[in-house]
Structure 1
């Protein structure tokens, strides 16, 4: 049995910053995430995509943001349980009992759900036996763009991810962008850029086409695409990328007795506590009047949720508000040397 003050479910930016806020006020926490690395959607889907709205950081990638947040919590020695999913949550006396699918058991005074929009996985191509190509020459997210250099890539999708990666990879690869409709759902500036690249001969654009089949033994050699009117074309491809969005699953959270509203959890705006005392929700998964799904909003929510946990972990103590610039206790926890 693992005993700690708080268990954070979700290792995305919001969960990581919340761990920092818990450490500042002297609370211990551990983090569980169903992905194989910290960073959430930022690192899983957009590691190289620039982010422009982090306070005091004019521009950074999802990977840079994640690495800086991990560096920020290093003094607190936060333990991660990756590739794990919380299955059981129940109240035991004044604590919460939590069990994961790997049979790790926790007893904690509070739980903070920072799980984005729940467990998620990419929508996949509806083709039989396509799994043999996955993570070799077929991908639903990009972790290392260098493997695509000087290759021919067929990208399927019409949203921001498909457009952004088509633009990015066109600098060093031959790109086929295939979308099932004429119109795109991504940002207009990206749509305009893709059409400009097509005009300049740097990208091939196929609209009203869908995937028909994939050819190859161990790796992909070509893809067959089918037009709405029945025409079939075969395109040489070394790699295939599919960007069809994510399938959102709340999973076991549905059974925890929380107030749910369209796959989000209702919280107050004082502590971001749910209807279950001692369970908090922050980030994209929480809902309240005026909610903005921004990383900076999640940071604010995490700071208040951390302080809401204090009364459960230290019921006989009063939490004093202190600034890190002047608080000796906070500076000692951070390892600041004078």
Structure 2
């Protein structure tokens, strides 16, 4: 049997397209009570809502972005993901839509466009009080931190005047592949994002030029092989070993004409281009999390792997922000961590209550 690649078709599963876009955030401010406060509405945070719901625990979800989905929605909504079990290929936004639909039956309360600034303990009840920059306060028996890399932003290449071209000819994300149809696209970087988008845009752009400072790329072996195969077919021009050197165009209108690159000897090459996509990773900023008294290791929260518990009782960390020995930074690892954390949180939310564990196939979900 030959495996075939597929994309997510919500209608085929009785799910309304764009489920994540249908989420309505509650008004900022006020005091709320819940079982679990989830900080972060990326894929791992969304799945923790489902896991908590299956344990009959109520959740409130807070995210600094005005929408759910985290990096998947904000940085690469059309990027294909290949390592989600059961899906040979699924676009990032489609995954978020599916996770939002999966969480919906448990009626989470969404606090979007709000950054968590305060975390304090209510000495009388032992609950945690989560405060946001919009004046919202959430009293929770447990807190799940699923904040990904924290507040994130792209690493900007040190090119003079690049700001004038940003969001007009220089983009740090690909929101719509069709926007680059027929364009001359320069992609800078040697990691997975650079390789993935070079491959995805090869049949859309009129020209793809990939700049990297050395011939060896850091992406997945299969992606590297595809990149070199497309280069051999003349669909991609590998500009190596070169680094970005400058931009030429009209800063007033943001029109880009030429991207200049330089090798280690200072030799300059001019690449005629309409678009530059620099993929040099994201800058991490944990922000207020640094002040909460959690044990940290290189801007990550250290946890006990079995329960995902942090150094503070009742506080759990899951997803990319969590660190333990031999951690794998994969979405599927985060899903398992969400299950472990919510089960551990249940012991805090429902102390002494006996739970007879049931699989979802026997228990079902609300409305099913």
TM-score, normalised with respect to structure 2:
0.83
* Structure 2 residues without counterparts, runs of 5 or longer: 1-30
**Residues 4 and 129 of structure 1: is their aligned pair in 2 closer, same or farther, counting only changes over 3 Å?**
farther
Distance 1:317 1:169 in 2: 54
* Of 139-148 and 113-122, the range deviating more from structure 2: 113-122
Question: Pick from 6, 14, 28: which aligns with 2:58?
Answer: 28
Match of 2:301 in 1: 265
Query: Structure 1, residues 34-55: CA drift from partner, whole Å, max 9, x if none?
Result: 3343223333444333333323
Distance 1:205 1:325 in 2: 49
Q: By how many angstroms is 1:233 displaced?
A: 2.9
Distance 2:167 2:180 in 1: 13
Distance 2:222 2:333 in 1: 25
Question: Pick from 257, 274, 286: which aligns with 1:238?
Answer: 274
Query: Structure 1, residues 211-249: CA drift from partner, whole Å, max 9, x if none?
Result: 222222322322222332222233222211110011122
Are the equivalent residues in 2 in contact too, given 1:220–1:237 (CA < 8 A)?
no
**Residues 192 and 320 of structure 1: is their aligned pair in 2 closer, same or farther, counting only changes over 3 Å?**
closer
Distance 2:222 2:324 in 1: 31
Distance 1:198 1:268 in 2: 45
- Alpha-carbon RMSD across the aligned residues, in angstroms, is 2.2
Counterpart check, 1:6 vs 2:39: no
Match of 1:218 in 2: 253
Question: Pick from 179, 194, 199: which aligns with 2:212?
Answer: 179
Q: How many residues align?
A: 332
Distance 1:38 1:284 in 2: 16
> Looking at both structures, which has the greater relative contact order when contacts are Cα pairs under 8 Å and sequence separation is at least 6?
1
Question: Pick from 132, 138, 158: which aligns with 1:126?
Answer: 158
Distance 1:83 1:145 in 2: 26
Q: By how many angstroms is 1:290 displaced?
A: 4.1
**Residues 304 and 187 of structure 1: is their aligned pair in 2 closer, same or farther, counting only changes over 3 Å?**
closer
TM-score, normalised with respect to structure 1:
0.90
Counterpart check, 1:82 vs 2:148: no
Question: Pick from 178, 196, 200: which aligns with 1:146?
Answer: 178
Distance 2:224 2:341 in 1: 39
Are the equivalent residues in 2 in contact too, given 1:36–1:82 (CA < 8 A)?
yes
Q: By how many angstroms is 1:19 displaced?
A: 0.4
Q: By how many angstroms is 1:62 displaced?
A: 1.8
Query: Structure 1, residues 47-92: CA drift from partner, whole Å, max 9, x if none?
Result: 3333333233333222222111111011122232333321211112
* Of 200-209 and 87-96, the range deviating more from structure 2: 200-209
Give the alignment of 1:33-44 within 5 angstroms: 33-44=63-74
Distance 1:212 1:46 in 2: 26
Counterpart check, 1:170 vs 2:205: no
Distance 1:33 1:100 in 2: 10
**Residues 146 and 278 of structure 1: is their aligned pair in 2 closer, same or farther, counting only changes over 3 Å?**
same
Distance 2:354 2:335 in 1: 23
Distance 1:27 1:78 in 2: 10
